[in-house]
Structure 1
Amino acid sequence: MKTQMIVLNGGSSSGKTSIAQCLQAVLPGSWLSLSVDTFVDALPASLREGDAGIGFAPDGTVAVGAEFRRLEEAWIAGVVAMARAGARVVVDEVFLGGAESQARWLKAIGDDVEVLWVGVRCAAPVAAAREAGRGDRTAGMAAGQAEPVHEGVRYGFEVDTARSGPMECARLIAARTE
């Protein structure tokens, strides 16, 4: 079976979005790129604050509530449905709950969608420097997520963006797809 989805998991500012864009350039055929940021941006303003949605603490900690999880489940099901319908999809994710987050995706995917799970690692100081340069993230988020997002997650392949650029990472990932 051909790879239908590539799931890139890594902390904030680890380089997932840049890799996703490079994958679209190097992979044969057309690939959609969908990000957890796309999902968060689609939430109503009322869920980008408060206990029910997603909240960002001053130290960069991210907390999510019940309504966020409900809508996230629908989002995941929709992304998987696109892959089942024939779209090839690169998913740019942050598994805040490590293995528990991956389990939500695995439940939706079942056994009929071929997925390449990719860990996008980046040393916390490097990610923190990128975060500071971006100016659109809460300080502390990148360092705080650098390792926890990988806890217990099973990957088919891993890249380290502190050592390799996004195009090199994309080429390495593309070499592992069918």
Structure 2
Amino acid sequence: MLSLNKFGQIVILNGTPRSGKSSIATVIQNTFEGVWLNLGVDHYMKLIPERYQPGIGLRPGGERPDLEPLVMVMYQTMYESIAAHSRLGINVVVDVGHHDEYSVPRGILPKCARILKELPVMFVGVHCPIEVIMKRRMDTWNTGYSEDGSVPTPVKRWQKSVHVPGIYDLEVDTSVLNAEACANVIRQRLENGPTPTAFQLIEDMGSG
């Protein structure tokens, strides 16, 4: 019989679209010990009515200031759900793309860190060079470079803003390691330490 009697581990994978976060999350779910739920942004977006899309997936650039207050609340509700699962002993993996390039700074990441205070959370930066991102976009969505051959502005904005402030417990590069290898690095860090502290540092930044 499955026994859940301690806080569930939380692993947050932060990176741009097509950086490989979802693939790593799937490996974690399928291979890590215990029950792991994926409560990431893609799953959350499926719950959002069409008129409020892209909601929590709003890209950098400040294009929809009308949605930004709702986006803040959606992030908070997603993280409250993450916290609730952890408190009941369920492990959670989250694939997300945090940024603060809205019409005005929103400070969403420190607010989210505050919600997970006192819970075991590892913050992982998932990196990937923009050339590889572009190839994956073409392979997956059949959309790539602009007509003049340049990288589209939204892609460049993601690449620039998603890793600010750059405080992580662990960083992986999916152009160097495949999803299985990245998950193994995460597993080793969880098993061998040191204890993750990134979210505590980010929370402190938000209260400064």
Q: What TM-score do you get using the length of structure 1 for normalisation?
A: 0.84
C-alpha separation between the residues in 1 aligned to 2:93 and 2:9? Answer: 9
C-alpha separation between the residues in 2 aligned to 1:55 and 1:92? Answer: 11
Aligned residue number for residue 121 of structure 1: 127
C-alpha separation between the residues in 1 aligned to 2:143 and 2:85? Answer: 29
Task: Structure 1 unaligned segments of length 5 or more: list them.
Answer: none
Is the Cα–Cα contact under 8 Å of residues 35 and 91 in structure 1 kept in the other structure?
Answer: yes
| 127, 138, 150: which one aligns with 1:132 | 138
Percent same amino acid at aligned positions?
27
Q: How far off is 1:55 after superposition?
A: 8.0
Q: 1:146 to 1:6 in 2, by over 3 A?
A: same
Q: How far off is 1:143 after superposition?
A: 4.0
Is the Cα–Cα contact under 8 Å of residues 8 and 89 in structure 2 kept in the other structure?
Answer: no
Q: 1:89 to 1:73 in 2, by over 3 A?
A: same
Task: Structure 2 unaligned segments of length 5 or more: list them.
Answer: 1-5, 146-151, 192-208
**SS of equivalent residue, structure 2 residue 124:** strand
Q: 1:167 to 1:142 in 2, by over 3 A?
A: farther
Matched, 1:22 2:53: no
Tell me which amino acid in the other structure corresponds to 1:18: S
Tell me which amino acid in the other structure corresponds to 2:167: R
Query: How many correspondences in the alignment?
Result: 172
Q: 1:78 to 1:102 in 2, by over 3 A?
A: same
CA deviation map 1:107-156 (0-9, x unaligned): 11112x11111000001111121112111889744443123111113111
Superposed, 1:153-172 pairs within 5 Å as 153-172=166-185
Is the Cα–Cα contact under 8 Å of residues 127 and 146 in structure 1 kept in the other structure?
Answer: no
Is the Cα–Cα contact under 8 Å of residues 39 and 93 in structure 2 kept in the other structure?
Answer: yes
Q: 1:55 to 1:118 in 2, by over 3 A?
A: closer
Aligned residue number for residue 113 of structure 2: 106
Q: What TM-score do you get using the length of structure 2 for normalisation?
A: 0.72
Tell me which amino acid in the other structure corresponds to 2:117: G
Q: 1:108 to 1:69 in 2, by over 3 A?
A: same
Q: How far off is 1:54 after superposition?
A: 6.1
**SS of equivalent residue, structure 2 residue 168:** coil
Q: 1:128 to 1:104 in 2, by over 3 A?
A: farther
Query: Which structure has more strand as a fraction of its residues?
Result: 1
Tell me which amino acid in the other structure corresponds to 1:100: G
More displaced stretch, 26-35 vs 115-124: 26-35
Q: How far off is 1:24 after superposition?
A: 1.6
Aligned-residue CA RMSD (Å): 2.8
Q: 1:46 to 1:18 in 2, by over 3 A?
A: same
